[in-house]
């Protein structure tokens, strides 16, 4: 999913974090009593999330917390494992036509939505059509279906999906919760209510949603069509899953240490040691897939149009040390734009562009930035080497603001002046659309599919067309490989293209990957069976809450 | 002017205030930079068709005066619209959160008022050591940011001693720590204002008379001096309760409480005009009603104002 997990007061929260660090240590050391004593046979589980969904219609919302929550409510046609393979779920089997443009899914019979409607071919078609309908105002799902040309119910249990062009990322797209199958009756009869009362076929039924507080889900006792990748079959072990929204990092951790939450999302890297040291809590981690948090230089306007300056910036930053100190050793520095857990990741990129201040200086000299001004910044023809880097504060979660300041400080040593500017959504959208008013832009993108690189670099996908090619890069060679990589479904051929693509991105300095984000989930020791899906999102279907003390 | 006419005039003024507030909200969101349709669609870049759809549905493609007319027309019919972001009717959305905000505001206010009264009565013009200590502590309470007090209270009372829920509790126990945090920020201000008013009143000749009649010191203070100290306090409480009713964002966030403040903060960030307008109208209404109540209270506390107002 698109990286954003908005939170509205990053700066303020960071201050809270710092101020409460000491009391929190005390709290953690002394805590860990209590817990959900009511944990019955199946068990109840309270999961504290850091942000709240905007809407529970997976085809509308683009937040990853939405995917985490509604994963239990909606089933998908197929399920993906982290090795990039697909397994039966609602579709028992499927075939792909020779031209790779028609997918035929053979649906499992007897599946029922929570409202009693049968899940058949028309339901699948209704969901896909709902996702691409402009009226849905989809924040993300529609972009997963760019190549979708239409679906047809061949018979009740067979659905045929046509694509406008071959698209190797299609199966990954439909495996996500964002394209989970919704009840066609709900889509038809209550379109305004899809956000607040989702109706799916999954192991959990939607219970209630109290805004700014919690969402409750209850087990679907008739569930018998789990994915082939799950550890068990039949209904979920948990009888009730409640999701509490606790935006403050320190408070969320306090909820876990004091036993008032069984599982918490987004354990801040700086508190990981506390969780480990407690002895009674466990930390689960899953590296995020997709594009890591990266800085994209403007290749069409300003000083970074010169490849030497881009490479000089890349080499001037000591990411090993920076990532280590900003994230307390919890996250790895990134070498490629693709995260290591993504299919198609190229190991050959590793250690190819280490910190090299001497090389950086040489490149800047060669590019003509030879003079220095009174503050030590490099200049050319009397103009300082200044790079404007606007950002949306609420997206600089997870200490990315601190990381950006670190990059700024290191670039300064090389004589490059980075101007970090916090902006509101409107101003930033304008910067992104014009593309000439900023020199650097930073973002990441979670998706278990290397095709995400096309979003960032395809010449046909500038921001105005709904893409992420922020600076209108037009590199025909890269474009050709990106198209070829998605036109074939042969894993080896795809891997070959993506290796070349990742190499070229670094060689030309088209992106500066920074760190590999990981999802850090804290749980009480009494929680078993909690796992992650291929996207690195926690899964609750196999989870169970044993009584305190039992294990 | 009779009391009834006074009330009617004030209610009409309230309508004008609310109209003005709605207009300011509309203008404010018009003036913020960037395309609102894109902000509404979120931070992933939307497709051109989606942008068109949003512009059309929300009438952003019409001239601004037309948009304003449509906006005021809907409000006049009592229709606050549907949240752009949350796709829920604004009335229901705010209604769900308002009760929580009101409860927090009122308990926080009552706690602060009680504590301030005790402090002022006990230390105004006497017990110099205690007075100095109290004033020092009040100053610290005023200057300590709420997010730190809240985190500190949580650390000890919720994380360590398990006396109160960390988040999400629904009973009265969930109200204790947030109210205490709010009250701590207010008690210093109230106590200082009250003490000063009371010290001024204690210098008045009528206090000497009251003492001469043989009343005990505390009863002289409660029955005679306190009333004089109340006027500035009423003014300041009117303002602070109004502000609390429209949301205590920081406290709501730290304690993961429902509340108008969090709704408003999120709505502003995402250009959710219907929600912003709804909250602004609610705040304007709350302030207007509180001001009316404050004016009414002045007349009760200080009978001289009754004549002058008529």
Question: pLDDT digits over A146-178, tens only?
Answer: 999 999 999 999 999 999 999 999 999 999 999
Same domain, B164 and B29: no
SS3 of A371, please?
strand
The pLDDT value recorded for residue B247 is 67
Chain B residue with CA closest to A48: the answer is: B167
Q: Is B47 on the interface with A (CB under 8 A)?
A: yes
State how far residue B307 is from chain A, nearest Cα, in angstroms: 48
Q: Is residue B14 part of a domain?
A: yes
Considering only the beta carbons, identify the residue of A212, A246, A254 that sits closest to B155: A254
C-alpha distances in Å from residue A199, one per residue of A143, A185, B49, B92? 22, 9, 27, 21
Contact check, Cβ <8 Å, A251/B154? yes
Q: Which of chain B's residues have a Cβ under 8 Å away from the Cβ of A427?
A: 33-34
Q: Is residue B71 part of a domain?
A: yes
In tens, the pLDDT along A344-361 reads 999 999 999 999 999 999
- pLDDT (mean) for A268-277: 89
State how far residue A328 is from chain B, nearest Cα, in angstroms: 23
- pLDDT (mean) for B232-254: 86
Same domain, B133 and B252: yes
The pLDDT value recorded for residue A548 is 55
CATH architecture of the domain A30-71+192-288+519-545 equals: 3-Layer(aba) Sandwich (3.40)
**Within 10 A of B309 (CB to CB), how many other CB atoms are there?**
12
CATH number for the domain running over A78-184: 3.90.76.10
With a pLDDT cut of 90, the percent of chain A lying above it is 78
Cβ atoms of A206 and A114 within 8 Å: the answer is: yes
Same domain, B56 and B120: no
User: How many residues are there in chain A?
Assistant: 551
Closest to B147 in 3D by CA, of B139, B155, B137? B155
Question: What global pTM score does this model have?
Answer: 0.87
User: How confident is the prediction for chain A on average, in pLDDT?
Assistant: 90
Q: Is B255 on the interface with A (CB under 8 A)?
A: yes
Same domain, B68 and B124: no
In the DSSP assignment, the letter for residue B155 is I
The class that CATH gives domain A291-516 is alpha beta
Q: Is residue B85 part of a domain?
A: no
Same domain, B124 and B247: yes
Q: Is B239 on the interface with A (CB under 8 A)?
A: no
Same domain, B13 and B99: no
Q: Which of chain A's residues have a Cβ under 8 Å away from the Cβ of B39?
A: 425-426, 429
Domain harbouring B252, CATH code: 1.10.3720.10
State how far residue B124 is from chain A, nearest Cα, in angstroms: 35
To which residue do tokens 């804290």 refer?
Answer: A522
Contact check, Cβ <8 Å, A19/B46? no
User: How many residues are there in chain B?
Assistant: 310
Q: Is the pLDDT of residue B76 over 80?
A: yes
**Within 10 A of B218 (CB to CB), how many other CB atoms are there?**
10
The pLDDT value recorded for residue B169 is 65
- A302 phi, psi to nearest 5 deg: 80, -175
SS3 of A536, please?
coil
- pLDDT (mean) for B122-136: 90
pLDDT band at B1 (very low <50, low <70, confident <90, very high): low
Write out the residue range of the structural domain in which residue B132 sits: 90-307
Handedness of CA A127, A131, A135, A137 (dihedral sign): positive
State how far residue B238 is from chain A, nearest Cα, in angstroms: 27
Q: Is residue B84 part of a domain?
A: no
**Cα torsion through B269, B274, B279, B285, rounded to 10:** 150
Same domain, B129 and B236: yes
pLDDT band at A551 (very low <50, low <70, confident <90, very high): very low
Same domain, B165 and B285: yes
Residues B291-299: contacts with CB under 8 Å, at least 24 apart? B291/B238, B291/B242, B292/B7, B292/B10, B292/B14, B293/B238, B294/B234, B294/B235, B294/B237, B294/B238, B295/B10, B297/B234, B298/B231, B298/B234
* Portion 224-283 of A in contact with B at CB < 8 A: 244-248, 250-251, 254-255, 257-261
Contact check, Cβ <8 Å, A429/B265? no
| Strand A44-49 relative to strand A240-245, pairing | parallel
C-alpha distances in Å from residue A345, one per residue of A449, A455, B168? 10, 16, 42
Element (DSSP H or E) covering residue A442? strand A440-445
Closest to A75 in 3D by CA, of A58, A95, A55, A62? A58
Cβ atoms of A439 and A421 within 8 Å: the answer is: no
Give the start-to-end residue ranges of the domains of chain A: 30-71+192-288+519-545, 78-184, 291-516
Considering only the beta carbons, identify the residue of A2, A24, A251 that sits closest to B166: A251
Q: Which of chain A's residues have a Cβ under 8 Å away from the Cβ of B168?
A: 213-214, 244, 246
Q: Is B171 on the interface with A (CB under 8 A)?
A: no
Q: Which of chain A's residues have a Cβ under 8 Å away from the Cβ of B271?
A: 425-426
In tens, the pLDDT along A290-325 reads 999 999 999 999 999 999 999 999 999 999 999 999
- pLDDT (mean) for A173-187: 97
Same domain, B47 and B110: no
ipTM of the complex: 0.85
Q: Is the pLDDT of residue A79 over 90?
A: yes
B34, B161, B163, B249, best to mutate vs chain A, most A CBs in 10 Å: B34
What domain count does chain B have? 2
* Portion 177-206 of B in contact with A at CB < 8 A: none
Q: Is B252 on the interface with A (CB under 8 A)?
A: yes
- A495 phi, psi to nearest 5 deg: -60, -40
Closest to A173 in 3D by CA, of A147, A150, A195? A147
In tens, the pLDDT along A455-479 reads 999 999 999 888 899 999 999 999 9
Considering only the beta carbons, identify the residue of B155, B167, B265 that sits closest to A27: B155
Contact check, Cβ <8 Å, B155/A247? no
- B11 phi, psi to nearest 5 deg: -65, -40
């Amino acid at each position: 999913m698109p990286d954003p997990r908005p939170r509205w007061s990053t700066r303020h929260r960071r201050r809270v974090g710092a101020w409460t660090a000491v009391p929190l240590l005390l709290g953690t050391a002394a805590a860990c009593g209590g817990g959900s004593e009511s944990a019955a046979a199946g068990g109840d589980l309270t999961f504290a999330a850091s942000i709240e969904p905007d809407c529970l219609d997976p085809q509308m919302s683009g937040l990853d917390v939405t995917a985490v929550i509604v994963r239990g409510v909606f089933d998908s046609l197929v399920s993906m494992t982290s090795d990039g393979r697909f397994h039966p779920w609602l579709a028992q089997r499927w075939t792909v036509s020779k031209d790779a443009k028609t997918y035929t899914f053979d649906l499992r019979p007897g599946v029922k939505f929570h409202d009693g409607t049968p899940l058949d071919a028309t339901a699948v078609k209704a969901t896909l059509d709902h996702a691409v309908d402009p009226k849905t105002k989809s924040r993300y799902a529609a972009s997963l279906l760019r190549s979708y040309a239409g679906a047809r119910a061949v018979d009740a249990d067979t659905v045929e999906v046509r694509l406008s062009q071959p698209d190797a990322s299609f199966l990954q797209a439909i495996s996500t919760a964002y394209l989970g199958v919704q009840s066609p009756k709900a889509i038809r009869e209550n379109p305004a209510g899809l956000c607040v009362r989702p109706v799916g076929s999954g192991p959990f039924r939607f219970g209630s949603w109290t805004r700014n507080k919690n969402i409750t889900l209850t087990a679907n006792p008739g569930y018998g069509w789990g994915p082939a990748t799950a550890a068990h079959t039949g209904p979920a072990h948990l009888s009730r899953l409640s999701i509490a929204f606790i935006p403050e990092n320190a408070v969320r951790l306090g909820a876990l240490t004091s036993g008032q939450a069984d599982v918490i999302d987004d354990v801040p890297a700086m508190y990981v040691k506390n969780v480990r040291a407690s002895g009674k809590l466990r930390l689960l981690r899953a590296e995020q897939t997709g594009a890591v948090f990266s800085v994209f230089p403007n290749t069409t306007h300003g000083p970074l149009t010169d490849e030497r300056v881009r490479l000089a910036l890349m080499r001037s930053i000591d990411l090993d040390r920076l990532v280590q100190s900003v994230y307390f050793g919890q996250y790895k520095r990134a070498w490629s734009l693709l995260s290591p857990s993504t299919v198609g990741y190229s190991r050959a990129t590793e250690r190819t562009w280490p910190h090299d201040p001497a090389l950086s200086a040489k490149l800047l000299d060669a590019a003509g930035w030879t003079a220095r001004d009174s503050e030590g910044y490099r200049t050319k023809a009397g103009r300082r080497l200044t790079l404007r880097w606007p950002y949306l504060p609420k997206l600089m979660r997870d200490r990315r603001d601190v990381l950006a300041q670190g990059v700024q400080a290191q670039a300064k040593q090389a004589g490059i002046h980075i101007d970090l500017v916090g902006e509101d959504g409107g101003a930033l959208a304008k910067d992104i659309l014009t593309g000439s008013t900023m020199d650097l832009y930073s973002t990441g993108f979670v998706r278990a599919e290397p095709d995400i690189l096309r979003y960032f670099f395809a010449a046909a996908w500038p921001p105005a067309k709904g893409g992420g090619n922020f600076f209108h890069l037009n590199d025909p060679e890269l474009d050709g490989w990106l198209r070829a990589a998605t036109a074939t479904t042969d894993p080896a051929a795809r891997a070959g293209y993506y290796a070349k693509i990742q190499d070229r991105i670094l060689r030309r300095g088209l992106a500066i990957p920074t760190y590999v984000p990981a999802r850090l989930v804290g749980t009480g020791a009494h929680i078993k069976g909690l796992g992650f899906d291929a996207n690195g999102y926690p899964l609750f279907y196999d989870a169970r809450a044993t009584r305190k003390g039992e294990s | 002017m009779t009391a009834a006419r006074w009330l009617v005039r004030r209610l009409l003024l309230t309508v004008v205030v609310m109209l003005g507030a709605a207009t300011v909200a509309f203008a404010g969101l018009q003036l913020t930079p960037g395309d609102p349709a894109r902000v509404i669609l979120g931070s992933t870049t939307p497709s051109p068709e989606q942008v068109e759809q949003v512009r059309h549905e929300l009438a952003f493609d019409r001239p601004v005066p037309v948009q304003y007319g449509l906006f005021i027309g809907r409000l006049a019919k009592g229709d606050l619209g549907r949240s752009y972001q949350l796709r829920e009717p604004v009335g229901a959305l705010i209604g769900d959160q308002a009760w929580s905000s009101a409860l927090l505001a009122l308990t926080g206010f009552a706690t602060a008022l009680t504590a301030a009264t005790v402090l002022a009565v006990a230390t105004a013009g006497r017990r110099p050591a205690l007075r100095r200590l109290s004033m020092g502590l009040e100053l610290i309470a005023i200057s300590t940011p709420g997010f730190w007090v809240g985190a500190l209270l949580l650390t000890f009372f919720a994380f360590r001693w398990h006396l109160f829920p960390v988040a999400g509790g629904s009973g009265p126990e969930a109200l204790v720590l947030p109210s205490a945090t709010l009250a701590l920020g207010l008690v210093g201000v109230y106590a200082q204002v009250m003490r000063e008013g009371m010290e001024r009143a204690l210098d008045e000749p009528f206090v000497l008379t009251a003492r001469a009649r043989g009343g005990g010191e505390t009863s002289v203070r409660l029955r005679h001096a306190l009333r004089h100290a109340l006027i500035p306090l009423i003014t300041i409480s009117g303002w602070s309760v109004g502000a609390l009713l429209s949301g205590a964002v920081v406290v709501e966030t730290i304690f993961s409480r429902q509340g108008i403040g969090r709704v408003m903060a999120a709505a502003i960030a995402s250009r959710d005009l219907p929600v912003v307008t709804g909250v602004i109208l609610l705040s304007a209404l709350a302030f207007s009603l509180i001001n009316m109540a404050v004016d009414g209270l002045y007349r009760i506390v200080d009978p001289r104002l009754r004549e002058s107002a008529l």
